[in-house]
C-alpha cells in the first residue's frame, strides 16, 4: 500500500510518500480501506519530535473508509486505549495510508449524509471538545462560553458543541475573515484578540464574564482567560500551543473562586456523545481544505501556517 511516513524528525520535507507493507489484522481486528484522513496539531508535533516516536511511523489519528471486502462505511475513534492513552499515529501507525488494521470496537458507522472527508474531520477534535465542555465544564443552556483561536479544529468543534448545547459563544481570532466565518456558524460575538481588550469586552458582552473559558492556546492567553471568567466560572484547558508556562496569576483563581479543568482527548462515552451530536445534525464538522494523500507536505504547511478554518483533510484514492 501507499502511505505517508516519517523516517526522521524535521519540517514537512521529511514526509515520504512511499510503498509500505500492507497491515495484517490481529485478533479482534479488521482491515479498513481508508478514503480520507485529517491532520491534527499532534501530527505536526510528532513530525518535529515533540515527542519523538519510533520510526518509521505513519502519522494520522483520524480517518474514515470502508471495511475491506464490504461496503460498510466507518469512522474511527482514534483513542484506541482510553485507559493507557494509546493514540493512532503516535503509539502505533496511523491513518495517513491506504489501509489500516484496527479493533472492530474502534469503528463506528459514518453518520448518514456525511462524506468520507467530513467523517474524518470530526473524531479527535469533537471528542476533545465534548470532554472539555460537557464532561468537564458541564455547559448549561444560556451560559456564555469564550473560545480562543477560532479556526483551529478544537475551537471550531467547541463552537459547534456550544451552540448545540444552547450556550452562547464568544470567539476570538487575529483574522477578521475567520471571525466572519464564525458568525456564519452561529457565534454570538466575535473579538479580534490582537486589538480588543478581551477580558473587558467579554465582561461587557456576557454581563459579568464568561461562565466557561475554553483555552487550548496556553501561555499567550492564560492571564486573559482568568480575567475573562466571571466569579465562580470554569476554565478548561486542553493544550498549550503558545507555550506551557504562563504566569500563574493565582490571586485571580482564589479571589474569583474559579474552577480549572485539565482535559485530554476523551473516553468512549465522550466519543459517543460527540458522535450523537454529529449523527443528529445538531453539530457538524468544518472542512477547510482537501489535499491528495501524496501532497501531505502541502497539507502540513497549511496547518502549520495557521491559515485553516476547520480541518485539513487528506483524500485517499480507492
Please indicate, yes or no, if residue 278 is contained in any of the structural domains.
Answer: no
Looking at the structure, tell me whether residues 133 and 256 fall in a common domain. Answer: yes
Looking at the structure, tell me whether residues 129 and 54 fall in a common domain. Answer: no
What is the mean pLDDT of the segment spanning 173-181?
97
User: What CATH number is attached to the domain comprising 234?
Assistant: 3.40.50.720
Please indicate, yes or no, if residue 16 is contained in any of the structural domains.
Answer: yes
> C-alpha distances in angstroms, 284 versus 7, 41, 118, 164, 185?
35, 20, 8, 10, 10
Low-confidence winner among 65-79, 187-201, 234-248 (lowest mean pLDDT): 234-248
Looking at the structure, tell me whether residues 193 and 131 fall in a common domain. Answer: yes
Residue 81 confidence (pLDDT): 66
Looking at the structure, tell me whether residues 95 and 15 fall in a common domain. Answer: yes
pLDDT higher than 90, residue 241: no
pLDDT higher than 60, residue 84: no
Please indicate, yes or no, if residue 276 is contained in any of the structural domains.
Answer: no
Looking at the structure, tell me whether residues 147 and 194 fall in a common domain. Answer: yes
Looking at the structure, tell me whether residues 139 and 249 fall in a common domain. Answer: yes
User: What CATH number is attached to the domain comprising 9?
Assistant: 3.90.180.10
Looking at the structure, tell me whether residues 130 and 242 fall in a common domain. Answer: yes
- Euclidean distance between CA atoms 296 and 285, whole angstroms: 21
Label residue 246 by pLDDT band (50, 70, 90).
confident
Residue 242 confidence (pLDDT): 64
Place of cell 511511523: 57
Looking at the structure, tell me whether residues 50 and 159 fall in a common domain. Answer: no
Q: How many domains does the chain have?
A: 2
pLDDT higher than 90, residue 318: no
Please indicate, yes or no, if residue 244 is contained in any of the structural domains.
Answer: yes
Q: Integer distance in angstroms from the first to the last C-alpha of the chain? A: 11
pLDDT in tens, 182-219: 999 999 999 999 999 999 999 999 999 999 999 988 77
pLDDT higher than 70, residue 85: no
Task: Name the residue range of residue 91's domain.
Answer: 2-122+285-315
Looking at the structure, tell me whether residues 142 and 235 fall in a common domain. Answer: yes
Are 89 and 80 in contact by the 8 Å Cβ rule? The answer is no
User: How much is the pTM?
Assistant: 0.94
Looking at the structure, tell me whether residues 153 and 36 fall in a common domain. Answer: no
Are 232 and 256 in contact by the 8 Å Cβ rule? The answer is yes
pLDDT higher than 90, residue 119: yes
Please indicate, yes or no, if residue 118 is contained in any of the structural domains.
Answer: yes
Please indicate, yes or no, if residue 274 is contained in any of the structural domains.
Answer: no
Looking at the structure, tell me whether residues 25 and 151 fall in a common domain. Answer: no
pLDDT higher than 60, residue 82: no
- Euclidean distance between CA atoms 182 and 178, whole angstroms: 6
Looking at the structure, tell me whether residues 222 and 296 fall in a common domain. Answer: no
Amino acid at each position: 500500500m501507499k502511505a505517508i511516513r516519517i523516517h526522521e524528525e524535521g519540517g514537512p520535507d521529511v514526509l515520504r510518500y512511499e510503498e509500505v507493507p500492507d497491515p495484517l489484522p490481529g485478533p479482534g481486528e479488521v482491515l479498513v480501506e481508508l478514503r480520507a484522513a485529517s491532520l491534527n496539531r499532534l501530527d505536526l508535533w510528532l513530525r518535529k519530535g515533540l515527542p519523538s516516536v519510533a520510526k518509521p511511523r505513519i502519522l494520522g489519528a483520524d480517518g474514515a473508509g470502508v471495511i475491506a471486502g464490504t461496503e460498510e462505511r466507518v469512522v474511527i475513534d482514534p483513542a484506541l486505549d482510553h485507559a493507557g492513552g494509546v493514540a493512532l499515529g503516535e503509539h502505533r501507525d496511523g491513518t495517513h495510508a491506504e489501509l489500516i488494521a484496527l479493533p472492530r470496537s474502534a469503528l463506528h458507522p459514518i453518520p448518514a449524509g456525511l462524506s468520507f472527508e467530513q467523517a474524518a474531520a470530526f473524531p479527535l477534535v469533537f471528542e476533545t471538545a465534548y470532554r472539555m465542555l460537557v464532561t468537564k465544564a458541564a455547559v448549561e443552556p444560556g451560559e456564555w462560553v469564550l473560545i480562543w483561536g477560532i479556526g483551529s479544529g478544537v475551537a471550531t468543534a467547541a463552537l459547534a458543541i456550544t451552540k448545540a448545547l444552547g450556550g452562547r459563544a464568544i470567539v476570538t481570532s487575529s483574522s477578521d475573515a475567520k471571525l466572519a466565518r464564525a458568525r456564519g456558524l452561529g457565534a454570538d460575538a466575535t473579538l479580534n484578540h490582537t486589538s480588543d481588550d478581551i477580558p473587558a469586552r467579554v465582561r461587557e458582552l456576557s454581563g459579568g464574564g464568561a461562565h466557561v473559558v475554553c483555552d487550548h492556546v496556553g501561555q499567550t492567553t492564560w492571564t486573559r482567560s482568568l480575567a475573562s471568567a466571571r466569579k465562580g466560572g470554569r476554565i478548561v484547558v486542553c493544550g498549550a500551543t503558545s507555550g506551557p508556562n504562563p504566569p500563574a496569576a493565582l490571586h485571580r483563581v482564589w479571589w474569583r473562586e474559579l474552577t480549572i479543568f485539565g482535559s485530554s482527548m476523551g473516553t468512549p462515552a465522550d466519543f459517543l456523545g460527540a458522535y450523537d451530536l454529529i449523527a443528529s445534525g445538531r453539530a457538524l464538522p468544518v472542512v477547510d481544505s482537501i489535499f491528495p494523500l501524496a501532497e501531505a507536505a502541502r497539507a502540513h504547511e497549511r496547518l502549520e501556517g495557521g491559515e485553516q478554518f476547520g480541518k485539513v483533510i487528506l483524500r485517499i484514492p480507492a
